[in-house]
Structure 1
Amino acid sequence: MAMLGWPVDHQRKIVKVSPAATGIPLQHNIVGSYNEVPNLAWRSLSSKEEVIDDKTLSSMLFTAGESFDIVSSPVDAETISCGAKRKIWMNATRLHKLCLSDTLPEADGLYHWKDVCITDAETNDPCKDTFAIEVHNGGNFRVYALELLRRDQYGLENDTVAYCFDLSIPGDPCSDWTPPVLPGLEYHRPVNTYVTQTDDSLVHNWYSAKPYQMVTESPDLDLTNRCGANSQMWMNDSLPEADGKHHIRKLCVTDFATSRTCADSIHYTFIKNCGRHYVYFLTSSPKHDSAYCFDIPSVSGDPAPDFTPSNVQIKTSLKWIPYGLTSFNEMPNLQFHCSFDENNETDLFYSVYFYVNGDYLDTDIIIQDPSYAFVTDLQLQFLGYAAGITISCHVGARSSRDGSTGITTKSPGFYAGIKMLNSSIDVKRGEKGVVSFYPTIPYGCVKHSTNPESTCQLTLYISSDAANNICDSNSIQHQCTVEVAGVTKDNYNSASPWTSETNYEFEIATSESKQGSYYLANSKFVLKLQTKNPSHQFWKNIESETVTINVSDTEGAEIWQGKVCSVHCDPHHLTFDGLRFELQKRGRFLLMKTEDPPMQVHLSYAVTDVWLDQDCVRDKVLGNPFAIPYCPTSCIANF
């Protein structure tokens, strides 16, 4: 169904129509049911070469997948973009010379008419001609009924023309959110020929690669499996400037069998310069057994040494440094060392990279002396981190300070904070359980010249998610705080790394509610330890890992907390499980009996001038009966 253009000043009402009304079939609501827009990536605003001409389109229904959408904001008319001289973009209004950003339709199962503009470079007009296309929102993708263009339409003649599409992933990957790290970055390096991998199933997304960058020269094809794959993808272009935009870049795909560094297969990536690092929009590789190539950049290009550091691990030490107006006051300074075995035969440089919770710290350290391979708690605080994090480091050797980095070795993750020894414990109702923990890093105390250190301890506050969330609640019983011994400058042994040999513990107990109700949902609750504002600020407002407390009852028992039974008037009965019945007989009856605590409730029924003579409750522990006032007065007894 071809849709012809109309004059610019003609006002046409935009209406919703069903697929049947247009003759366009609405296929299965699956992105794979439609043809992808040809050369989709090269239709982006950053595509500056004339590589597309939509006068050759052969079909009407297209999808842009889940990562692209039609451009819906004004496009520069003079410069080449979207892969063509003249560009088509979606405009919100058809008023002459007025260009406004538009929005895509809602996912309502219908096709919607949307106006589009065609730019003209000769007149620098972003909306020289207009026509309409139909758009269907399939939820996580859109379907477009694109008009088949001809040379004699809109003054196109020999000009290239292209519908503009661009990335539609919301948010700025440099500032609004943190892209995931490309999996197996070290194995994407050209020096890796021993671990195989492939990116043919990589999820389309923005990725971070810090401190690595995409390779801009072809890897040597002397060995197979460079970058971990038989075919390598490398960028045959330069990295973009930091201009706030993402830029498309061509990628060459090597062919080891023919020794071609840039075979016929061409791929692409989008790159954005975030200032101190780059982010990459990567898709699944175009062929099996192929992978993107990344490497740690070097200035001099000196070859990497044939040495791989070993025994890499995180260790901690505590120092005291002057602070304030005088040098007599000292504050604790916690250091996280990247410890490793160095080369004792050759003087080498080492590049050290730290990660916190899997995120790169952007604090590259190039050293010869491994004792300087550390970050401090002050640096981590400046970057927004506190105790309760997992730290790791990578180390690689260099023959010169600015040379290439050899194969790096990663340390195990080190948890810096309060380590709970129980992830969960089981407690029988009314009994006690023990929660154990220990600090993995030292808590240092400030040394004041006018107020010598007398006591040094960290106060941990115990909290739970029970609705009655106080330490002496009716449902949960535990102490309110736990004190952890700190470290002073006088008692710290600086000659050896600090290790915690002390495990701490506290008791928790469940109790019967005094309020007639119980505050545990699903017979479990969660405990954690918290700090408030200690002197060592790295410990400020942190939380420990959580411990789940599973509360169980004696096998076969039923839980009656919050249940009520009652007898009133002549008499009417209500049982704990909600059964109502009448019992109008003289005599003495047992209303309730419990074993823990040992208690019985008896009732004596007699015909009198009042409705009910007397209820009698006997506490077998105390052995003393007491009376409950009879009808018409009511009373609920809490035991």
Structure 2
Amino acid sequence: MYTSKLQFRCEFTKHDADVFYTTNWVVNGELVLTEDAMKWDNGDVIANHTLTEAKLISVHITQVGFELRCSVRASFGKGTAASVPVMSDPKFIGIKISDKTLELSEGDFADISLQLTAPFGCGTTAGTCELNIESVHLVILASEWNKAATVRVFGQVSQSLGSSSNTLKLKLATPDVLFDNMFWVQLKKNTTLIARKSCHAVNDPHMLTFDGRRYEHQYEGVFTMYKHTIFPIEVQIQTADCGRGVHNAWCNCGVAIRAGRTVFEFNRCEGQSSIWTIEYTLCEDSGDVLQVKKKGNNYEVYLPTGGRVTVNVYGIYLNVYIYPSIQDVNNTRGLCGTLTANCRDDFFLRDGTYSTDVTATGDCGTTSNVWQNLLTTFSNSWK
């Protein structure tokens, strides 16, 4: 019957004299086993002194993840004085992790390298087998045990603001092989770049970019208010005639919030009905892609990035407020502009060029270019 087991040999060369050899096995700096003294016997002493799984279990070592060393002493007789031991270099048996401590900011990714230092088998199972590392959903094939594997770690974004540092422990474990290891992640939060930042479209609609630039958006149609440049996340607004005798004024009558292929939508644009249509479409995404909470006339929609969209419904109109996460820094486009802490670069068009309709002067808070309907090219590029 086929079988596979882990075993270790202490390799050394024969002395010129006809002597006895004693092999010692050291685990994590502690002597755990001493083999009986034997003569060279055509090198059979090395095979007879092999450290097997059975011998490891007999000294209560039942899982990998240990440092192993061996030493050899020579003597002229079994009970006579022996030479000074010659110690091998240490060898770690298990999975070596490139970073035992990882420093990571919220919203960032980091790669951890995993390297097996010894082959593994599947007991009495012949053929290809694999090692499943459950906590990171990683599979290593027995035939590729000596190839490094990479695990990507993501710093989960929380809803809170401020600066903080938390230390987390990530444990690696396997279901069938006696192995466990762990590494520490120091997760840092610094929301200085998004503190007190938001973008809004309030009727009819007056716009505020993430970096504080104000402008008018007096156009009819469907527009991209916010779009993440890396993740498939987008917020669109639809404007229609405000009615009530107001000439050439356009109000928000609909908003659609998308993450992946999941969409949450408010709409009363068609026919200017007084009844709101509120729809939630889940399409091949997990159920928690968008989290929606109702608070009075407000709907809070939480995005996978840690950002939040607030939809305020009043009468036949709605206002839209977008609160960014740290993952939005340098990654936003649309009517909300670019979140960079610089109001001078807000008006990028859909094609990536910059709008020449307005030359931003002064600080964001000055009255220059404020409440002026001069951004036709910019607004319509996001239609």
TM-score scaled by length of structure 2: 0.48
Q: Would you tell me which structure has more helix in proportion to its own residues?
A: 2
TM-score scaled by length of structure 1: 0.31
Q: Would you tell me which structure has more strand in proportion to its own residues?
A: 2
* RCO comparison, higher one (Cα < 8 Å, 6+): 2
Rg comparison, structure with higher value? 1
